[in-house]
Amino acid sequence: MTRLQNKFALITGGTSGIGLETARQFMAEGAEVAITGRNEQALAAARAELGTKIWTIRSDAADVAAQRALATHLAARWPRLDVLYANAGDVTHGPLEGWEEAQWDRLMATNLKGPFFLIQSLVPLLGHHASVVLCGSTSAHIGLPQSSAYAASKAGLLALARTLSAELVAKGIRVNALSPGPTETPALGKLGLSAEAQALLQDDIRKLVPIGRMGTPWELAMAAVYLASDESRFVVGTELLVDGGVANL
């Protein structure tokens, strides 16, 4: 398979779940792939699973200085960047009264501020016909209890997909959003909830999905392959919902 042949692709938050599976599928389609993560053990596990061709980079998606350093690191090794999949995210959920400022700031830095400044840093490296894919969420479209901060951050990313497209289209850079619905990933265990609250939330989430099940990382990864490939060259400034009908049915 050669849908991404000769393309250089960066996936942030690529050590598990959707990011890890997307890295696998990008490589299968011929791309040279770099993934980032905060945890060296998780990066090592990804290398063991994906093989020696994967390039793993330790980087904190919430740290603006780290985003600039990441761009410099890529430019020293690659001639250009064809695909950016900004997948790293903080999925913390909780009731309104439970949020603290530091927790809010960390989520927004990871989900919105970091991707914004990463794109800014990468513009000189992004080649003509480059594709930038921002990881949105169906949560931005629905009123799921306890998702307020998370949904707000993803709504911001959806706005960036449109506004940055208008700003960067003259450079040949496309920006789109890929918004997962409820998906079976390890992130479900990182919501910041008690075991009982998490189980109740997951049950509520499943009930939201019209097709009666949660999505899989593979299904999201294949949508990312499409947005990264030249097949989507006429797709600009939009959102691809892969959510089992949650936002529309």
Rounded distance, CA 137 to CA 201, Å? 16
Catalytic site includes residue 85: no
Q: What is the pLDDT of residue 188?
A: 64
Instruction: Pick out the chain residues at pLDDT < 50.
Output: none
Q: Residue 182 half-sphere exposure, CB side, CA atoms within 13 Å?
A: 21
Instruction: List, in order of start, the domains of the chain with CATH numbers.
Output: 8-242 (3.40.50.720)
Q: What is the pLDDT of residue 189?
A: 64
Q: Which of 181, 173, 162, 182 is nearest to 238 (CA)?
A: 162
Beta strands in 112-196 (DSSP E): 126-135, 174-180
CB 24, CB 220: distance < 8 Å: no
CA 23 to chain centre: 12
Q: What is the pLDDT of residue 202?
A: 74
With H, G, I as helix, E, B as strand and everything else as coil, classify residue 220.
Answer: helix
pTM for the structure as a whole: 0.94
CB 136, CB 244: distance < 8 Å: no
The single residue of 150, 223, 239, 242 carrying the catalytic annotation is: 150
CB 222, CB 23: distance < 8 Å: no
**Max alpha carbon distance in the chain (Å)?**
50
Q: What is the pLDDT of residue 191?
A: 60
For helices 148-168 and 114-122, give the axis angle rounded to 10 degrees. 20
Categorise residue 86: left if φ over 0, alpha if ψ from -120 to 50, beta otherwise.
beta
To which residue do tokens 């691809």 refer? 240
